[in-house]
Amino acid sequence: MLKTKKLIACFLALAFILPVFAGMPAFSAAAENVLIGDVDGDGEVGAADARMILRHVAKLELLNPEQMKRADVNGNGEIDASAARQVLRFTAKLVDKFAAVSASPVVNERGNTVGNIVNWGHAAIQGEWIYFRNSKDDDKLYKINVDGSGKKKLGDDESVNSINVIGEWIYYCYRETVENINSPRGIYKIKTDGTERQMLVDANDAAFINVIGDYIYFGNYAEGGICRVKIDGSEKKLLTDDYAMYINVVDDWIYYSYRKLNGGDNGVNRIKTDGTAKQKLNDDPSTHINVVGDWIYYQKNPNYGGMAGLYRIKTDGTVKQEIKEESYAWGGMTVSDGWIYCAYYAGMIRVKIDGTDEQKLTDEFMQPFSIINDGIYYYHYSDSDNTISMYRIKTDGSETQLVD
């Protein structure tokens, strides 16, 4: 006890001789917009902040919850004398950042990639965690660390899809099953720790959700068209009544494949994210569209089945190019890091975006699939025990691993 009091006394003495260094800018933890080290909330990190930490440690004046977040400079959830020491070292310019800032969690700018979303969004990543649909547990929502550790079930909704994750929230579509027939279908959000599940939209058949900024964009096939709603579930708005699939929200535009249910017109359209300026970009029966840079990549599939070709057009509808003739069985498609990945009943191939260097990656049936970092995550059915498991292979086709 005497040693602790002496340590605190030394720190307090040092705090009072360091006012010359006060006024250092604070660092921000992006996930919560908390200024780490700025305990008193004056916008600066200085000796006064160390003094408040030490008074808390000595139980002379306890910090409130917001101040404790700011005081957790070590990122370990503990407010102790070492936290005060780090504030003083930062103030004296002996260190240029706090451990908590270095360890600040990655926060996605968008909930998932367009390539994963058009392949039903069964997996998404944020930081070191993968959020996925677990085929071994009725397609419920789980998370697992990228190193394979820490698997945890997050909810009991079955047949989840269109998984998006931003910050502390996961957004997803839920479709009813026989077991959950009385549970409303629609769009939900749940915290990344599995708490605070909330229904945002009561939509009987929502799909292809894109979560960007303050909005969720999604196809609503019960009502028809594309809708937009705020991430708190408010201000739902119908943007177009086109029957839209494979929705990509990129910059200020929504790109989508559309078709008439009773035959007739089809192709790719785009509209502004506020529902204005609708443009028709092509007349091809287009599936699995991926907007990457200035190009829209898609499968041209006249019969929505059978053989499909690979094409691309500029995002303004000009400069159509054939990448590969109609030689692939129709299936999932994603564009990632200069490669087009195509899955079909006989496995998966990849080809460069200019149509060169075609490679067969696997003979396994891999639909649906998601590309995360340098891996392809996919589901595979085993005839031997009638189970579906998630596997991962590298994007070059090597190192097949069982994930779950």
pLDDT, one tens digit per residue, over 1-53 is: 544 454 445 554 444 434 434 444 444 433 344 578 889 877 788 899 999 99
Nearest to 284 by CA among 263, 305, 262, 259: 259
Structure tokens at 37: 């080290």
Q: Is 79 within 8 Å of 71 (Cβ atoms)?
A: yes
d(CA 330, CA 307): 6
pLDDT value, residue 168: 92
More confident residue, 383 or 28: 383
The SS3 assignment for 135 reads: helix
Q: What is the per-residue pLDDT across 141-197, written as a single tens digit (0 to 9) for each? A: 999 988 888 899 999 999 999 999 999 999 999 865 545 444 567 899 999 999 999
Backbone angles phi, psi at 164, to 5 degrees: -130, 145
More confident residue, 268 or 308: 268
pLDDT value, residue 166: 96
pLDDT value, residue 21: 41
Burial 135-165 (b: 16+ CB within 10 A, else e): beeebbbbbbeeeeeeeeebbebbebbbbbb
More confident residue, 56 or 70: 56
pTM equals 0.74
Which of the 8 DSSP states describes residue 142? E
- DSSP run (H or E) holding 295: strand 295-300
Domains and CATH numbers, the chain: 2-102 (1.10.1330.10), 114-365 (2.120.10.30)
